[in-house]
Structure 1
């Protein structure tokens, strides 16, 4: 069979102990896969830097200090809710339940080394990402 994501999501966000059990199973496996991919990229490609996308980085201590820098892509909560509802076909209350299980926005922003604000168009976000890339490359060159 296939995983009924909607049913699983409803179950774990209505049962915090079940959510923690699921996260305890998934997060170590996801971390192991991510670290393996980073090592393979380093070995094969020798990139100036790598980006590890971890949506629940601050909620999950198993990552420790894997990253030299933490970049947060941020938008205000109302826009975040609107986008999540459109992307995932969830109700506002479902999105809010998911957000309530995560580290608060203010904490993420405080823990970030770099922040890109994503409250505008995709083209504007792409410009900001390009500028951050230039900054990261410059840092890599200086630190060689």
Structure 2
């Protein structure tokens, strides 16, 4: 099994591509945003650490995290944003690792990791066999975000500037899906990319490497046992 990193920018169309891969093409897609919500559910370690560092004001009456309120706090305070990231990121990576292992044991050919901050954090990049960026023009990104979230132009620009520019992400990735045109064009590009992944022989290389490692461990174990009981 090999890993594919899917990323983009806010309102670039990454979610649409992830939906095509999952719902239309049957891929296993691990959504980092979804995992991020799971690791702060009431009673989890992430939830407890947030309560300890940010107090009860960032929670709703039912105990769930008030994301909007917490977002307002960390958006205007870089130090608190670092604290939150130090709490959530390890939990997110750990949860993703478990999901990856589960799918490996199920014999998946490949899985797609939907990672909005793939290139910003850099931590997951070395594990990706392929990285794909969903791209669009800066003006399209701005207009889509304003329409989707009902933001003013200034508010939308602030949020876009808070991320790595799409142009830079495109220079770092192995594949680009151009989402500047209609959804049909994006769909056909996604299908073409999926075909490349399905035909890739990378997963055999991974399996052979794991088999060699497993064989080495078994061989070493037998050798040690023989030394002990000879």
* Superposition TM-score, scaled by structure 2 size: 0.56
* Equivalent residue, structure 1, for 2:5: none
Q: 1:41 to 1:31 in 2, by over 3 A?
A: same
Q: C-alpha root-mean-square deviation of aligned residues, in Å?
A: 2.2
2:181 match: 120
Offset from partner CA, 1:94-139 (integer Å, 9 cap, x none):
3322222222222211110111111122222111100000111222
Query: 1:27 aligns to what?
Result: 89
Structure with greater Cα Rg = 2
CA distance in 2, matches of 1:94, 1:13: 12
Residues 26 and 95 of structure 1: CA distance in aligned 2, closer, same or farther (over 3 Å): farther
- Whether the 8 Å CA contact 2:110–2:203 is kept in 1: the answer is no
Asked if 1 retains the 8 angstrom alpha-carbon contact of 2:109 and 2:198, the reply is yes
Aligned residue pairs, count = 143
C-alpha spacing 1:128/1:22, structure 2 compared with 1 (3 Å): same
Contact 2:119–2:125 (CA under 8 A) maintained in structure 1:
no
Match for residue 109 of structure 2 among 33, 48, 54: 48
Residue 17 of structure 1 pairs with residue 76 of structure 2: no
| Separation in 1, partners of 2:124, 2:112 | 14
Q: Determine the structure 2 residue equivalent to 1:129.
A: 190
Cα distance, 1:65 vs. partner?
Answer: 1.0
- Mapped to 2, the partners of 1:27 and 1:88 lie a distance apart of 25
Deviation at 1:143, TM superposition (A): 5.7
Whichever structure has more strand as a proportion of its residues is 2
Match of 1:93 in 2: 154
Verify the 8 A CA contact 1:48 1:140 in the aligned structure 2. no
Cα offset for 1:7? 3.0
Over 3 Å counting, the alpha-carbon distance change for 1:12 and 1:90 in structure 2 is: farther
Q: Which runs of 5+ in 2 are unaligned?
A: 1-59, 206-230
Give me the whole-angstrom Cα distance separating, in 2, the residues matched to 1:16 and 1:92: 23
CA contact (8 A) 2:140 2:180 kept: yes
Contact 2:132 2:177 in 1 (8 A): yes
SS at the partner of 1:103? coil
Q: Alpha carbons of 1:96 and 1:4: their partners in 2 closer, same or farther (altered >3 Å)?
A: farther
Aligned to 1:140: 201
TM-superposed deviation, 1:141: 7.1
